[in-house]
Copies of this chain bind each other. A is one copy, B any other.
Amino acid sequence: MPSDNRVYIGVDLGGTNIQTGVLDKNGAVLGRDKTKTKAEVGAAGVIDRIVKCVGKAMSEAGVEINQVAGLGIGAPGTINFDKGIVEYAINLGWRNVRLADELSNLLSGVPVFLENDVNVGTWGEYTAGAARGYSDVFGIFVGTGIGGGLVLGGKLYHGHFGSAGEIGYTTMLPSSPPGRRTLENVASRTTVANLLAELVRAHHPSVIRDLVGDDLTEIRSKVLAQALEKGDPLTIQILRSAADYVGIAIANTVTLLSLPCVVLGGGLNEALGKTFVKWVRESFDDHVYPPYLKKCEIVVSKLGDDAGIVGAGMLAKDHVG
């Protein structure tokens, strides 16, 4: 088979959805599929669902398994990427699942590479997205939680214990108690929504009540985007504070690692668009050191929902060559 026909499969395994894609060597998506994860069926059941979802993407792309040079998969939780094991994934209910080996066995022995989902997203943006062309990249994804990934010298950087990139767990407020001091505690979408709900309940004036009615548990990214667009002062104040913290965390990372490029993604950032990035950038510029590090680019994630499948597929390509 001519090497030009080789394709790569990328799988994005989340707590809610499985997404699969067949990619050419440049990361273009030739076929795709999406299905519910249904974590309640257990690990073996979910792995079956992944295999079916892979099959559908291959059908759409019109490729056979013998054309697949490798499969990459990004999963949430604590990953042993060396051994291909999901050690602990709370939203899948998994402990020590040998995901890479089991998938490979069910897919004619195709080489399978497992990686943390945030690292996969960063790798996608680095190889085929917004951070293309830089060899050192910090990816930061702001959503329900806040995750980070590092590419240093053109390679995913895992660190000695394999957990590198955990920016969400760095301390931003030294004097605050546990649960209120990390970046995730002060700037995730969850925190923003909870804080806003609390203030609205305490009768602070805000357009939020008009948007969600009485159900203040429903302040999702889309609602925040609407409130921001309407110029709601309370929402602006809280989102601006979150953006300030994200900007400081990025500045600290760039100051420590002297990086040329940061890619900013995740649900909150995608929903809020340019305003949020502008605030993050202002905070970054105000805190990074030395001053010439302001040359560092902060780019917005380009692959969006495809970062998982593209990153995972490109990771497989990087491994098998």
Closest to A245 in B: B174
Which stretch in A57-65, A67-75, A253-261, A303-311 binds the other chain? Answer: A253-261
Contacts of A158 in B (CB 8 A): 258
Min CB distance A161 to B, Å, is 5
Would you call A257 and B174 a contact (CB within 8 A)?
no
Given A170-B255, A171-B248, A171-B251: A136 and B163 interface contact (C-beta under 8 Å): no
Nearest 10 pairs of A and B residues by beta carbon: A159-B258, A169-B289, A160-B260, A164-B258, A170-B252, A163-B258, A161-B258, A171-B248, A166-B255, A171-B287
Contacts of A292 in B (CB 8 A): 161, 163
Contacts of A163 in B (CB 8 A): 255, 258, 290, 292-293
Would you call B159 and A257 a contact (CB within 8 A)?
yes
Among residues 21 to 68 in chain A, which have CB atoms less than 8 Å away from a CB atom of chain B? none
Asked whether A194 is an interface residue with its Cβ less than 8 Å from the other chain, the reply is: no
Asked whether A193 is an interface residue with its Cβ less than 8 Å from the other chain, the reply is: no
Asked whether A165 is an interface residue with its Cβ less than 8 Å from the other chain, the reply is: yes
CA distance A158 to B259 in the complex (A): 10
Given contact pairs A136-B160, A174-B245, A256-B256, a sample of 6 additional A-B residue pairs in the complex whose CB atoms are under 8 Å apart: A160-B259, A163-B255, A163-B293, A164-B256, A170-B255, A174-B244
Given A174-B244, A293-B161: A166 and B256 interface contact (C-beta under 8 Å): yes
Asked whether A203 is an interface residue with its Cβ less than 8 Å from the other chain, the reply is: no
Interface core residue of A134, A150, A164 (most chain B CB under 10 Å)? A164
Give the A interface residue count (CB, 8 A): 44
Asked whether A233 is an interface residue with its Cβ less than 8 Å from the other chain, the reply is: no
Contacts of A174 in B (CB 8 A): 172-173, 244-245, 248
0/1 interface trace, chain A 256-288, chain B, CB 8 Å (1 if under): 111110000000000000000000000000010
CA distance A224 to B158 in the complex (A): 40
Contacts of A252 in B (CB 8 A): 170-171, 252
0/1 interface trace, chain A 136-170, chain B, CB 8 Å (1 if under): 10000000000010101000011111111111011
